[in-house]
A and B are shown apart, each in its own frame.
Chain A
Amino acid sequence: QTGSISGRVLDEQKQGLPGVTVVIEGTSLGNSTNADGTYSIQNVPTGPQILIISFVGYNTQRQPVTVNNGQNTAVPNVVIGENTTLLNEAVVVGYGTQRKEDVTGAVTQIDEKQFVKGQVTNPEQLIQGKVAGVQITTGGGAPGSATTIRIRGGSSLNASNDPLIVIDGVPVDNSGVSGAANALSLINPNDIETYTVLKDASATAIYGSRASNGVILITTKRGVQGEKITVNVSSLASVSKRYNSVDVLSANQLRNTVASVAPTKSNLLGSSNTNWQDEIFRTAFTSDNNVSVAGAAGKLPFRVSYGNLEQQGILRTNRLIRNTGSISLTPVLFDNTLKVNLNLKGSIIDNNFADAGAVGAALAFDPTQPVRSGAEGYGGYFEYLQSAGGVPQQNVPRNPVALLELRRDRSTVKRSIGNIQLDYALPFFRDLHANVNLGYDITRSNGSNLVDATAAAAYFNRPLDPAITDRQGGSFNRYAQNRDNKLLEAYLNYTKQLGETRLDLLAGYSYQDFVTTSPNLPTYLADGTTIFRAAAVNPFRTQYTILSYYGRANLSINDRYVLTGTLRNDASSRFPSYNRNALFPAVSAAWNIKNESILKDNNTFSDLKLRAGYGITGQQDIVGAAGSDYPYIQRYVVNSLQAQYGFYNPATSQYEYYIPYSPQGFNRNLKWEQTTTYNAGIDYGFLDGRLSGSVDVYYRKTKDLLAVIPIPILTNYTNQLVSNVGSLENKGVELNLNATPVQGEHWNWTLNANGTYNVNKILSLGPQVEGFAGIENNGVAGGTGTNIGIYRVGEPSSSFYVYKQVYGTDGKPLQDVYADLNGDGIINSNDRYVYKQAAPPVILGFSSNVSYDRVNLAFTLRSQLGSYLYNNVNSQNGTYNGLTSQPTVITNATQDALYTGFTNLKQERYSSDYYIQNASFLRMENITLGYDAGKIMGNRGNLRLTAAVQNVFLITKYSGLDPEIFNGVDNNVYPRPRTYTIGLNLSL
């Protein structure tokens, strides 16, 4: 006679705790909890029983329960306390959850408690600095700006190096969304419960072809069975300020400098003292309000949330409004056999973009000129004109304020991600679960861009009309984009505990389809009716499909030896049928030494586990490199109306125009890029977990690199083609350390430190001859066609390629003097050399949380070491060239001009290593002071107050504004502000 029991295990924050082992004392019957902390155990002998609830890092609990024949007994929620306040030991993995003990790969999970606090707009900012091996670089200070995420360096050259992001089981398309700089900014960070970063192939290979650059699993919050309904309200208000400026010459400095270096031009100077950076930036305000209701309505666990964010950028006119909503329903039906997991998330973002060109214009614009001209033309703004009262000069900076105020650049982006996941335990074979997951990711973008008819920036869009001199063309265009991505997953999961052996088998199928469409719309003049640039001949539509089979086996013996093997077969429509399928295997093993008898009772070690893994992952995201989803098909593109060709018929005095068909380069031999990863790691814990962490070493080698390389000319309709060529490697070490130096009744202090050392090297780029330096990349502003980077064999993929500056005895760089590195007596492009790299070899993160009773103080520090940056601001503006070169206009210089005294420089200026600067830095990402007011309103609510500062300080030798720029080129980046936030969080 048997019955079943079910219940839920919570942590002290009343959150469901996954992966907890629940066994019936004296038997081998047991199970582990699911992602939401629920568990059920079948076939339990009737009568009184004791449940042993245990979990690494938590205190083991014993819970009595009485089992009735043929019935399910609901066990009251069990709260287990951490024996450390450190990492939550729950681990979400691809297609399911695992006990941490059973994890054999390099996996880091970060939950809400460790998230970066303060004003967080983009979800990925939550874990910035928190995970070893993960580099997250925001694209600047604009609300919702694009972020670059790199896990263990990039494994590709020209194919995407972005990780795969899976939200509640839906792999999302995080490529560019029209009208939203960052596709992830459409997710409300407040809805996120955990981040899991899968780093090595043994963890990621289950995602096969999209896993080479790691996988980030995001789980959102949900209601749980039996929980009382809780309303949570959070409100943040913040103020953002610019905390530094680019050092350009002040008005008086410029006057003095012109007087000495270009005295004949003093008459061009104005009488104003304008700080253009002050004119374009402002103090920005943000409010972020969220309300959620979570709990169980009867048998229906649910969570609904609404968020409203209104964020100003510090650049005038820049603003983002985001409204988000989410619904999560997680009922369990039919006698606990069917678990339903329904997630719907929707968001609407309204962007007011600012012309970021104003940032560069503010550096170059003459500070002796006024913002407003006092005349009516050009919106009343001062502009350089070809003659007094005439038309605007070209090739001069435009009034930075006018660039902002005379443009209206708006977009509305709607995105919804949703899925329904059904997990059904087969009635006669309950160890076997059938899981179906249907999901979608839909985006609708609409935007428009209006440049005012009075703007000098778009004056010449209409042919000259002598009658109009202050109001001419302007421009107006609309754009739209629809993205419809569908997901179907189905898998079977078999779990069996046989004595001391646990077996977990998974086999599944996945179909994912991505469609993007955009209409073809013309560009008008500001009047909105006169077509200035014709629309494309055809609308845009592209589609690709990935079809996969996958499987995983996880075998745990005696909780000591764990073996995992995964296999995935992916087929992508981006490859020709004969190269379309690829198999991605991985195997890994772990040895829980702590559970060996010799250490079982050892009090020094609370955890000791060795892990080793090997696997192959793939890469198919080549759209950026190939230019289309159809790189292997010989395509003919219909030319745009700007690229017609005409023949003139003298007999009729008419042209006959043809819209040509352009054949495109294609590679019918294209195949998968493959990355082989070896990883070995150790997880350790001492002193009852008060000191714990992990060390991982890895080696990743990518072969058949998808790279855009020169191909023999005459063999294709292009000179460079995306091809499988060459190889590169990344090797590195990751350290993670958690510590609880103080643990007491009042005082508690926890620390996390993580560090990564990664070495990237290109091993091969295909055949080479002497004289072929490599493939140049990374264009810079100022010198058309100047590339500052190179892909070269034996060097890191983010290497700079520059001339070696020669310095004088006073230590200052000598103008136009570079070392003749190849000794041929002339200085030319062959004298460039590989110097430093943009990617940081060392990334460090450090977090601290000190609490005394109800007050806590937390901060996060981040550091990158060994990264270098090309100071494009100084290479463009750090000379007197702007003061001297143009007869009628003076443009401002940075203070570097005063130091170098550079005047008129040759082409090599832009490629001098003088402008490659050490960009190592230490940044305090945030500091947060929290006060837990405890029960209020007659014990009905819980109130927590916070005050936070973000971007608190920055220590760096880099001379520009901010050394943290992803691609190695500092060119007028929208500065990251310092943000002060106060917030309250109320739960009822």
Chain B
Amino acid sequence: CNDDLDRVPTYDLNTESVYKDAEGYQRVAAKVYSGFAVTGGQGPDAATGDILGIDQGTSDYVRSLWSAQELTTDEAVIQWGDPGVQDWHNMNWTSSGVLIRGLYSRILYEVTLCNGFLAQATDANLSSRGITGADLTNIQRLRAEVRFLRALAYYHALDLFGNPPFATENDEIGGTTPPRQTTRTELFTYIESELKAIDADLAAPGQNLYGRADKAAAWTLLAKLYLNAKVYTGTERNADCATYAKRVIDSGVYSLTPQYKNLFRTDNNTSKEIIFPIVYDGKRTQTYGGTTFLTHAAVSGTANSFWNPARYGIDGGWGGIRTTPRLYQQFPDTAADARAKFVTGGQSLEVTSQTTFTDGYVPIKFKNISSTGAPGSDLVFVDTDFPMFRLADVYLMYAEAALRGGGDQALALTYVNRVRARAFNNAPAGNITSGQLTLDFILNERSRELYWEATRRTDLIRYERFTTGDYLWAWKGGVAGGRAVSDDRRLFPLPAADLSVNPNLTQNPGY
């Protein structure tokens, strides 16, 4: 009878049964990918997701990242009263805030998933498990992709938290030894070296399935890393940024999607512009975060003459996110610029109250309908993919790096005008001259092109406008007219919950 005490799960697997063949590796790799898209293994309505201590839908990777990058800026305000959600815009978040902890936990949980896979995917393990031939090649490629995904998650940790704890596949999972803390400079170097190290094993640009990372995804991430190098390490790396941006552009497999709006529709998987997406499906990849959040939250909670949820392919809106006047005012000509689509009827331009949905215009971006107007497969969960990296961003990164002295300014103008031309439906009105191409123009153009795509906070920090009084927006720092806040707000605090259990951690300054 003592043997009866060794009960094991009937249907769940263990490490041996999971990694016994190539399929198991593939399915754990799918888990690593899905970590960016869904909140847990049992669907969005399960009792718990991967991250505990936070509402499951709110714990989503893209939703958390988006909130940290957009709600903190002039591009977005939110109506809701969930704990901490107003703190983003008011810039009064604390180390005990549930959303800060959710963001941090989600990013580093993703790193743990990667580490767990990589520990099992060593050549020695693959060999001892008899995996050979095409299976071996595929898993080796997946291994490089997972290292890319880990670099991406660490990049977000670097950008948002600066000095996070650090572990790799060489650290035990399931042990009790807390990981050491890394520094921004050290982590920068690590991400850079990882991305370079995997280059040989990743698929050539455009040669992998859509949704899987290839060389171009890694190059884009390197370009982002270098563009912000001064913020991260104190040293500019603009030439390196331009090099990698150009390498993506010159790969020749990417082109701008002819109509801007189709980048954010259910069939954006056919876009030639998206370099690395987070893939959603209304039936098979469901979450209350991701594009489901981005679509519903930007639609009024009740339908009326200004708001028809069916136009977005959904059952109803959640009445959450709008923008401050700043974003609307970035567009000198909202009629000519295809990107300047806002719901203004029934809404006021000014945000008198963040918690009143009708205060603030609402950009029209993500929809659960296709480019031809067909509704998505589900009325709650959205089919549209989130473009994590896309070509227009790379063009603008190149242009900025060039203006900062790292590349060819004439080429920069060409790239910028490609982005402009698409925005203005190929009308020459949108084109700018070399004299108009300034760093300020780039920042504003990035906002016009990439608003609500989770880059704004990083951009404002790079331009030193995130915390300073040089650029204000409604309710920046929690006051109606906006105010400067401490430069320490450029980094988020490490959550008090992790500090309390990991004695190796030191809190970021100012918290």
Where the two chains meet, the residues of A that have a C-beta atom closer than 8 Å to any C-beta of B are: 384, 386-387, 390-391, 393-396, 459-461, 463-464, 511, 513, 533, 536, 538-545, 547, 571-573, 577, 580, 627-630, 633-650, 655-664, 666-669, 708-720, 766-769, 771-773, 775-776, 783-787, 826, 828-830, 885-889, 904-907, 909-911
A572→B358 CA distance, assembly (Å): 58
> For A718, what are the chain B residues with a Cβ–Cβ distance below 8 Å?
50-52, 109
Question: Contact at B28–A649, with CB atoms within 8 Å?
Answer: no
Question: Contact at A715–B40, with CB atoms within 8 Å?
Answer: no
Q: Which B484-511 residues sit within 8 Å CB-CB of chain A?
A: 496-503, 507, 511
Q: Is B24 an interface residue (CB 8 A)?
A: yes
> For B167, what are the chain A residues with a Cβ–Cβ distance below 8 Å?
714-715
B501 partner, pick from A463, A547, A709, beta carbons under 8 A: A709
> For B9, what are the chain A residues with a Cβ–Cβ distance below 8 Å?
542, 628, 630, 633, 635
Question: Contact at B81–A906, with CB atoms within 8 Å?
Answer: yes
Q: Which of B4, B7, B104 has the most CB of A within 10 A?
A: B7
> For B38, what are the chain A residues with a Cβ–Cβ distance below 8 Å?
642-643, 645
Question: Contact at A634–B14, with CB atoms within 8 Å?
Answer: yes
A629→B11 CA distance, assembly (Å): 13
A710→B505 CA distance, assembly (Å): 14
> For B115, what are the chain A residues with a Cβ–Cβ distance below 8 Å?
714
Q: Is B387 an interface residue (CB 8 A)?
A: no
A668→B175 CA distance, assembly (Å): 8
A787→B2 CA distance, assembly (Å): 43
Q: Is B170 an interface residue (CB 8 A)?
A: no
A646 partner, pick from B53, B211, B286, B303, beta carbons under 8 A: B211
Residue of A nearest to B379 (CB): A460
Question: Contact at B501–A645, with CB atoms within 8 Å?
Answer: no
Q: Is B10 an interface residue (CB 8 A)?
A: yes
Question: Contact at A644–B285, with CB atoms within 8 Å?
Answer: yes
Where the two chains meet, the residues of B that have a C-beta atom closer than 8 Å to any C-beta of A are: 1-2, 4-15, 17-18, 24, 26-31, 33-34, 37-38, 40-44, 46, 48, 50-55, 57-58, 80-87, 92-98, 101, 104-105, 108-109, 111-113, 115-116, 165-167, 171-179, 209-212, 269-270, 279, 281, 283-286, 300-304, 308-310, 315-319, 346, 353, 355-358, 375-380, 478, 496-503, 507, 511
Beyond A539-B11, A886-B319, A888-B303, 18 extra complex contacts between A and B, CB < 8 Å: A395-B301, A541-B11, A543-B10, A629-B7, A630-B9, A639-B34, A644-B281, A644-B284, A650-B210, A659-B27, A713-B112, A715-B176, A718-B109, A719-B51, A719-B105, A772-B499, A787-B98, A887-B358
Residue of A nearest to B40 (CB): A643
Residue of A nearest to B278 (CB): A645
Question: Contact at A642–B26, with CB atoms within 8 Å?
Answer: no
Q: Which of A387, A637, A667, A708 has the most CB of B within 10 A?
A: A637
> For B309, what are the chain A residues with a Cβ–Cβ distance below 8 Å?
386, 394
Pull 15 A–B residue pairs with CB atoms less than 8 Å apart, ordered by A.
A393-B302, A464-B310, A629-B7, A647-B212, A648-B270, A648-B279, A662-B41, A710-B498, A716-B174, A717-B116, A718-B50, A772-B500, A904-B356, A907-B82, A909-B81
A888→B357 CA distance, assembly (Å): 13
CB B155 to nearest CB in A, in angstroms, measures 16
A73→B97 CA distance, assembly (Å): 79
Q: Which of B81, B301, B377 has the most CB of A within 10 A?
A: B81
Residue of A nearest to B179 (CB): A714
CB B269 to nearest CB in A, in angstroms, measures 4
CB A117 to nearest CB in B, in angstroms, measures 39
A638 partner, pick from B11, B84, B116, B353, beta carbons under 8 A: B11
Q: Which of B17, B26, B316, B478 has the most CB of A within 10 A?
A: B316
CB A511 to nearest CB in B, in angstroms, measures 6
Question: Contact at B5–A573, with CB atoms within 8 Å?
Answer: yes
Question: Contact at B12–A637, with CB atoms within 8 Å?
Answer: yes
Question: Contact at A713–B2, with CB atoms within 8 Å?
Answer: no
Residue of B nearest to A816 (CB): B355
Residue of B nearest to A630 (CB): B9
A750→B308 CA distance, assembly (Å): 70
Beyond A393-B303, A713-B109, A767-B501, is A642–B82 a contact (Cβ under 8 Å)? no
Question: Contact at A648–B209, with CB atoms within 8 Å?
Answer: yes
> For B283, what are the chain A residues with a Cβ–Cβ distance below 8 Å?
641-642
> For A511, what are the chain B residues with a Cβ–Cβ distance below 8 Å?
1, 4
CB B204 to nearest CB in A, in angstroms, measures 15
Question: Contact at A627–B501, with CB atoms within 8 Å?
Answer: no
Question: Contact at B209–A645, with CB atoms within 8 Å?
Answer: no
Question: Contact at A648–B14, with CB atoms within 8 Å?
Answer: no
CB A28 to nearest CB in B, in angstroms, measures 42
A829 partner, pick from B94, B211, B358, beta carbons under 8 A: B94
B14 partner, pick from A633, A668, A775, beta carbons under 8 A: A633
Question: Contact at A643–B43, with CB atoms within 8 Å?
Answer: yes
Question: Contact at B6–A643, with CB atoms within 8 Å?
Answer: no
A712→B24 CA distance, assembly (Å): 28
Beyond A393-B316, A460-B379, A642-B44, is A713–B355 a contact (Cβ under 8 Å)? no
CB A619 to nearest CB in B, in angstroms, measures 17
> For A384, what are the chain B residues with a Cβ–Cβ distance below 8 Å?
302
Beyond A829-B96, A888-B302, is A634–B15 a contact (Cβ under 8 Å)? yes
CB B77 to nearest CB in A, in angstroms, measures 13
A715 partner, pick from B13, B83, B84, B179, beta carbons under 8 A: B179
B285 partner, pick from A533, A646, A720, A776, beta carbons under 8 A: A646
Question: Contact at B7–A826, with CB atoms within 8 Å?
Answer: no
> For A513, what are the chain B residues with a Cβ–Cβ distance below 8 Å?
4
A394 partner, pick from B8, B15, B317, beta carbons under 8 A: B317
Q: 8 smallest A-B Cβ distances: which pairs? A: A394-B316, A662-B41, A642-B43, A386-B303, A658-B30, A660-B31, A907-B81, A460-B315
